[in-house]
Amino acid sequence: MISLTELQRDAFTELLNIGMGRAAAALSEMVSEEVMLSVPFVDFMSRHDASALIQEKGSERIMAVSQAFSGLFWGDTMLVFPETKSLELVRSFIQESFPLEDMTEMEQEAFMEIGNIILNSCIGSIANMLHQEVSSSLPSLWRGACTDILGGQHASDTDDVVMFLRMDFSLQERSIDGYVMFIIDGNAIAALQASIDEFLSHV
């Protein structure tokens, strides 16, 4: 398990915020409204703990955009919002109200794109930070119970390390809490650790 000191956590947070800023800029341009993204919180934990943390906030059902990433270390990135909030987010983004309670197909695609932009930005930041080449796949959409999607039930999953970010998404005076996770495959932890150590030595 990777653990950070207060100082180290701050360093991570700041760098991720910069990355988020870029995503926010891209999103703002798309929607011609000010979109603000911030990362108030970063930590390393297990899948199980990450899932528990999300559910603590009362979001048992979630919608997630996930992208696989690869390079020196590999795994999945995930952008998670509570199910009800994702609808709110998409619709305020598109600036259209749809008198339906489910996300339409087109809205789902938009949600995926928003996730794609944010996740690519985060991945880009990490890659920069750790001086590594990291590439990512196309996003896919998940909807369901938190425990099912985040897993943590399989034995193989218990080795995975999650870099957990809490993210604030603000648009038009609306503020929605989401989460971003880097779920790093257990076999890649060592490589990740080395990179992080390298980075921290310069902090």
Partner 1 sequence: MIAHSSEPMAPLLGAVLHACEMGMIVLDGAQRIVLWNEWMAKAAAIPPAQALGATLDELFPHMTGTRAHQAVQNALQHGMAAILSQTLHKAPFPLYRNAAEQQEGTRMQQMVIIKPIDLPPLPRHCLVQITDVTSGALREQLLRKQAQAMQELAEECRKAANAKSAFLANMSHEIRTPMNGVLGMLSLVLSTPLDPEQQQYVETAHSCGDMLLTLLNDILDLSKIEAGRLVLEHIPFDMRLLTEDVIDLMAERAYKKGVELACLMSPEVPRTVCGDPTRLRQILTNLLSDAIKFTEQGEVVLRVTCTTPEDNDVILQCAVCDTGIGMSPEAQSHIFEAFTQADGSTTRKYGGTGLGLTITRHLVTAMQGSLTVESTPGQGSIFRFTARLGVAASPATVSPVATSLQGRRILVVASHAITRQVLQRLLATWGMQYCGVADGPEALHELCVAAAAGTPYELALCDAHLSGGMDGLQLAHAVKAMPATAGVRLILVTPFGQRGDGAAARAAGIQGYLTKPVRQSQLHACLLTVLGLQDAQTGPLVTRHTLEEARAKRRGHILLAEDNAVNQKVALGMLKKLGCHADVAQNGHEVIAALQRQSYALVLMDCQMPELDGFATTSLVRQAEGGERHTPILAMTANAMQGDRERCLAAGMDDYLSKPITLDVLREALERWLPEDPIALDHMLANPSDPVPAAISHPSDLPAPLDGAVLDTLRELLEEAFSETMEMFMHDMAAHLEEIREALPRKDYLTVCTIAHTMKGSSSNIGALHLATRCAQLMHLQATTPPAQANQYCTEVELEYARVQEALAELCSRTPLGVA
Residues that bind partner 1 (CB under 8 A): 26, 30-31, 67, 93-94, 96, 98-100, 104-107, 109-110, 112-114, 116-117, 120, 123-124, 127, 133-139
Considering the complex, state which of residue 45 and residue 188 has its C-beta at the smaller distance from partner 1: 188
Using the minimum distance from each CB to partner 1, give the nearer residue, 93 or 199: 93
Token code pair at residue 112: 């995926």
Shortest distance (Å) from residue 79 CB to partner 1 = 13
CB 70 within 8 A of CB 184: no
Q: Considering only CA atoms, which of 52, 35, 34 is closest in space to residue 43?
A: 52
Q: Given the complex with partner 1, which of 84 and 128 has the nearer CB atom?
A: 128
Q: Which is nearer to partner 1, 5 or 137 (CB)?
A: 137
Rank residues 104 and 156 by Cβ distance to partner 1 and give the closer one.
104
* Shortest Cβ 11–partner 1 spacing (Å): 22
In the complex, minimum distance from the CB of residue 22 to partner 1, in angstroms, rounded to a whole number: 11
CB 107 within 8 A of CB 100: no
- 194 token code pair: 């080395």
Q: How far is the CB of 188 from partner 1 (least distance, A)?
A: 17
Burial of 121 from C-beta contacts in 10 A (0-12 / 13-18 / 19+):
buried
Angle at 130 between CA 142 and CA 114, to 5 degrees: 30
Name the H helices within the chain: 6-31, 47-56, 83-94, 105-129, 146-150, 189-201
Q: What minimum distance in Å lies between the beta carbon of 1 and partner 1?
A: 29
